[in-house]
Structure formats: structure tokens, C-alpha cells
Structure 1
């Protein structure tokens, strides 16, 4: 059987070639092969004939002019496709911890108003603990509870916390609180 999806050879002319002459001075051939103009701008190209693109590529050095530290930083960034990454199972927990630490330091330095609110008397007694676990204030909608549950479940799941037993226990409490709130809110008339 003959395959119709043949991969073009590496030295085949670029189908997006603009149909201009070779950028090499004194060359009259067509510029069918592209080569990046600089390390800082990899999306702008010179267009060369096959002979001159081979010569250009042979002399191309992406790291030319970089210090060893800059080369190391570039290689490390390339291992994660130039995107931020965290150790497996943390889901950016370090950045959340940093934000929490900064908030605490700000509160310590500038003082924070932390109003102590007594439970409202109209909150059903069976929902007080569940609302406290979720950090919600009565009255609350089922949609709000579902959204908060998803956030808390992701944050406290043992897989996201290196299998921590404390996270497992916290997730159990979150699940119980969610079941309580969902049951009460689903049964409540609108």
C-alpha cells in the first residue's frame, strides 16, 4: 500500500517561502530555506538557497555571547518549555504559602482588623460547623457551596499534599460538611 502522508525531506524547500532571491550577497538563486535572524527574534527569518542555508546553520550558535550562568538558566527554562513548574503533587503550593506568609507579615506590620463575629442566631444549628469548615457566612447558595467544595477538595487532597494524613483527615471533614450543606440546601424551598 502506498502512503499518501509522506514526510517532506529535511532539505526540501519551505512551502511558505516568499519566492524571493537568496539573502546571501551576490547569490542569484531563490531563497527557499529560512533561518532565524537572531536569538532574540526567532520569528523573523533570512531566506537562503540550500548551499547558503547550510553554511549559515553550520555557523549558527544560539548561545554565542551568553555567560555560563545565562546558558544554564536558558537550559533549565527549556526543560519546562519556558513555563513555571513545581514539584509533583504541590500544584503551586509554594506560591500559595508565600502569599499567605506575605499576608501575615503585612497584617503583623500594619495591623489587621479581625472582627470577631458571633454566630448569627438564624443559622440552623446543624449547619454552623459545616459553614465554619467551608469559611462561608449564612445565608449561602448551593452553587457557592459547590464552588467552595471544589476549591477545598483540590487544595486538601492527599495527592496534592504528598500523601499527608492530616490532609486526608481534613478532606474527610470537608466531605462530611459538604454532604451536610448539600442535603440541607437541596431540601430547602427557594
Structure 2
């Protein structure tokens, strides 16, 4: 493939259309109209857009004085410049209460519950009273053995139970559960500061 040189300009992005015998629409110009510009009137939406055809010099003049907003009211200009133009129509909201519903084509057997578990996992993470749990909070809830909807009273009660179970003083000085005790204390410290238990 030959690369365009200085004597042969690149014709790929020139904006010129094939000359089909159209003359430039500028008054008094007989050059071929190879460049199109928006039509003067806006026709009905169901009809093809009308273009005006100019030579290179006259299309440059047209572009220099063209104003898309001419003839519009300030409200119409604002509507045309709105960043969400074209997105005003109502859309369907995403489901949040029921989790992701599997698609209808997913009517296959899932003996290990590998795929179906994903859809139930989201329900298990949500709290009915509103405050969400972070991933760290959910991990702490698992360490404490609490349900997602547990309240502050249930948290304290479960903390006391686990302290009695794992503390060396309650187990005759046995320190084998020290790691589990440390995890319970860290989980409780995290959860008591969480927004869900405030």
C-alpha cells in the first residue's frame, strides 16, 4: 500500500462525495457540489434528511457561519445541551429484594448447588433493617456465628458465650483455643463499631 506523500494528499478523511453531476448550490457558482451541508429546513422525522451541496470554498464559508441553535428558544437550546439528552424515557429498575433471578434458560440440574448458591448468597448478606454489611463485617459475623439480622443484644450475648467457651481461665488454663479467642475478640471489636450495630 502506498503512503500519501506531499504531492498526493490522503483522501480517506476529506469529506468529499463522488461527483454525481450535482452543482454547487451557492449562487453564481458552477463548481461541482462534492461536499454536503445540513439543509435549510428541518423536514419530518420519517423522511430522509435533506442536504445542501457545495464546492470546497463554499462549504468552508457555510461552516464558518453555521449555527445549530439559530431559531431556537432558550428552553430548546437548554434541552439540546442537556447531558442526558435522549435518556429521558423511563427504564425498568433493577431487582434488589429478590437477588438476581436466574435466566429462564437455566433449567438444568445443579447437584452441587454451585450456580444456585450464588443467587441465594446475596439474600443472606442483606439485613432487613437497612444498614448494609461490608465484606469484613460479614466475615466477622461468620466468626461469631450470627445471622445477618442479629442486633446488638444478640451480638453481646454471643460474645459472652464464645468468651466462656474459648477463654483459658474457663478451660483450666488450656491455651489451645487462644487463636479462636483472638478471632472472636477481633470480630466483636469490629462489629460493635459497625453501622449495622450502632
Query: Smaller-chain TM-score range?
Result: 0.3 to 0.5
- Give me the TM-score of the superposition, normalised by structure 1: 0.40
Larger helix proportion of the pair:
1
Normalising by structure 2, report the TM-score: 0.38
